Structure 1
Amino acid sequence: MYKAIAAIILVASAFPAWAQMSPEGLWRNIDDKTGEAKAEIRIRDIGGGVLNGALEKRLTKDAKPEDICDECSDDRKGKPILGLEIIRGAKKADGKEVWEGGKILDPENGRNYSLRMTPIDGGKKLEVRGSIGPFGRTQTWIRVQ
C-alpha cells in the first residue's frame, strides 16, 4: 500500500515538470531583430497531439484592434490579426522534445513557414523556427505564467 501511495505521489509531482516541457500554454514572442515583445500567442492541443496557436494579444505600440491580415493568401485573408491562428498542425517528433510538421504564419507578410518548436530552459522558453527550405529564422518566446 505504501508503495502505491509513493508511486502516485511521484507521478503527481512529475506531471507539472512534464507539462512545462510542452509548447502548450501562453507565450510572449520576442522579435529576434529588435528584442522587443510583439505579441502573446496561446498554443493549444486541438486533439490527437496536434498543436495550433492563435495570436491572443498584440504588444507593439502601433498595433490596432481593427488590423486585418491583408497579406494572407489563404482562409485567413481579411481576418483580424487579433485572434488569428498563426500556428497550425505541429506534432511532437518521435522520441524528442520537439514539435514540427506544422506551419507558422507571419501576419506581417502573409507567408507560411515550416515550423519547429523546441522547449528550452526547463520549458520556460520556446525556440520557434520558421523556415522555407534551408533559409529561416529562430525566435525565443517566453512562457507567460
Structure 2
Amino acid sequence: MGTWFEKLQSIGMSLMLPIAVLPAAALLMRLGAPDVLDIPFITKAGGSIFDNLALIFSIGIATGLAKDSNGAAGLAGAIAYLVLTSGLKAIDPALDMSVLAGILSGIEAGLLYNRFHSIRLPEFLGFFGGRRFVPI
C-alpha cells in the first residue's frame, strides 16, 4: 500500500487518458461550426464526445487505474457508470451526477479490478473467474 499522495497521483495519471480526447473533440466541433467549414457531421462527431463525457471518464479512469491496463477494467467502469446512473434515476429522475458519476465509477471499477482480477471460482463457474469476474 502506498501513501495517500501516491494513490492520488495514480488517480491523476489515470485522468490524463480521457482528458487527452477533449482537444480533438473541441477541434472537431469548431471546424464543423457554421462560420468555419459548416459541416454538421463533424460538429456532431465532436459533440458526441462531450455528450458522453462521463462514460468516457469512467472507462478511461478504470483502465488507467488497472495494474495491467486491461480492457476488462474499462468494461467494468462502463457497467458501474450505467448501473449508478440508472439507480439514481430510480431514486429521483432529477438526480444527475454528470462527470462526477463517471469519475467515481471509474475509480471504483479500477480498484475492484486490481483486487479481483485473479479470483478463482469453483470449476463449474470457472468461465466467470479471473478478469471476467470484475465486470460481472
Report the TM range for the smaller structure's normalisation.
under 0.3
Higher helix content, 1 or 2: 2
TM-score under structure 1 length normalisation: 0.25
TM-score under structure 2 length normalisation: 0.26
